[in-house]
Structure 1
Amino acid sequence: MTHQVLIVDDNQINLVLFEALVKKLYGSTAIAFSSPQQGLAWARLNQPDLIVLDYMMPGLNGIDFITQLRATPGKQNLPILMVTANDQKDVRYRALNAGASDFLTKPVDRIEFLARATNLLALNDAQQQLALRADILAAEVKRATADILQRERETVIRLSKAAEFRDPETGAHILRMAHYSQLIARGLGLSADEQELLLHAAPLHDIGKVGIADAILLKPGRLTPAEFEVMKKHASFGYEILKESSSSILQAGAAIALGHHEKFDGSGYPQGLKGDAIPLFSRIVAVADVFDALTSARPYKPAWTLEAAKRHIQSNAGLHFDPGCVAVFFELWEQVMGIRARFKDEEDDWSTLLATF
């Protein structure tokens, strides 16, 4: 391995001596400066493997050199071999506190220099190998985490697909309402991680419909009060299906499934929660889901116009819907329309779903 050894000493004779000694270190080259200011500037811009530094220099002594270099990002662990007089113990103590790695005393002994320099170079090599290994491990962890997240997302989509087989809602509906939900979260100032989590968990809101009988789930007309009581159980069913997962996406999906039919005034189900007692993700999904359901054609109903749906959502702010979520949704109307145009019912392809998330 080739090493660069920086030598900083205002005495020209010492520079020549150290350069000659560095040549005896296998694979090492010397970069020498008689000006400590120039040496410091070079060290800040480059990454030497070892610095041999005199203490007593005009304008910038060795301790000040070390202090300024250590304050430079990425230079905290460079090995520094300081050269001092034999009687300068106080200087060595201060140099240690400043970040010196080792010392040589004048007059410099050739054998001692080679031994100490070799040890410091070996230590630096080991530190670089550890740093490289840490970077490799971090990259591997990142890849593995990405694989896990992708499998989780695929699980979400496939679970949503299972619900879709029982319900006339389309895959495009799931895409739209999920992206509407993410948009509202962004407008409310949620973190990027929370926005991403909501995007991937929102499609699970109706997973509990897999537990509802076809006679009720697919009934073309209005449900009887008794049938509606059965239908309401899908919120709890969805929660029970997902709640014990170790996946953060499925856990968020469980909470959304349970709470997305709660109403801001407390008249919703299954728990009758009111206001901020309803989890924020559920309040967000309620707006996104209802808006898209209203504006989408289904076998049992025509699509509402955008204006009619808009009036319904706004008139129910504070009753059915969180007023803050409603306000943000319509403040971002242009982006809402962009999502609506991007994900159309005629492009209801589950492979597209998997690619989109």
Structure 2
Amino acid sequence: MLRLYLSLVFINSESLHSHGKGFSYWFPQLKRYRMTLGNWVRLIIQALYLLLLYRPTPESPVVKPTRRKFLSRGQRLSDWLFRPNAAPNPNDSQSDHKSHWLGSLSNQLFTVLASAAFIFALTLPMSAPQQGLLLLIFWALALWLRKRPGNFATLVLIFLSLFTSTRYIYWRVTETIRWDVPLDATFGLLLLVAELYAWVILVLGYIQTAWPLQRKIATLPSNTEKWPSVDIYIPTYNEPLRVVKATLLAALDIEWPRDKLNVYLLDDGKRSEFKNYCEAIGAHYIAREANAHAKAGNLNNALEETSGEFIAIFDCDHIPTRGFLQMTMGLFLKNSRLAMLQTP
């Protein structure tokens, strides 16, 4: 975890790979910036990184013997503390197996200590002034980090949010439920369950978005004849027509060869005004006799009535951009094993 944390600080920095001499080579920010409190914090973090994690590559400039000795000691310490947890090779020597075991143990120990510190901070009683001071510190840190590039700022902000929200949940559980009054406890627990549900959704959302893959758009063939046909499904049940109209018009306006694009409104509400509107704008209308299995059954029924090579599904209140298919379909042509793609 410490390896990941320190690496994130410099993931977008060129300071360790730029050309320079002496102290300014390892700490170039000292000659480019006025030394503020933030610069000193970065200086300390970067020094720890150089000591524990940095390994000069063959392309790096020649390092003086004293500095090489300093770095080599840091590398040995890093090998002992932060060795990756890959499975050991059966052909490795006994010492290699021992080193792997120690590296794994150190990572687990650090995780336990970090978790213990986190729990201690969550449960630490604070007065109102102390709570206000903590809020100001978090607010200032968020303002300082919000425009910094890379994922480090995002991870720190996620940590601050999780710490604050989890501390609130702890307070709700331990301080606000009146267990001695059954009626108060009942309604208090109902509200607490709703808040716990929101907290779980928050955590799962952070897990999903904490480290985006930043996939690049795969280009399509220049010859549009090679582009596949796409059927767009827009399932609906009881939504009003004014909501569905914008989605239908946006889907019809997607930039794709007209002879290879079909838009289908899947109406489980069986409403004649929807059918008339689809006929007026050039969209297809599909309605089934029974509404078995709700939305899933609606989609499965449409699969039996359409013949496109690919299918895009939009909620009836989702307005796609004109370039949606051009930004996504290239991945299917690039990787023949890709079967489904979900966009943010």
Indicate the TM-score class for this superposition, using the shorter chain for normalisation: under 0.3
User: Whose radius of gyration is greater, 1 or 2?
Assistant: 1
TM-score (norm 1): 0.20
Normalized per residue, the structure richer in helix is: 1
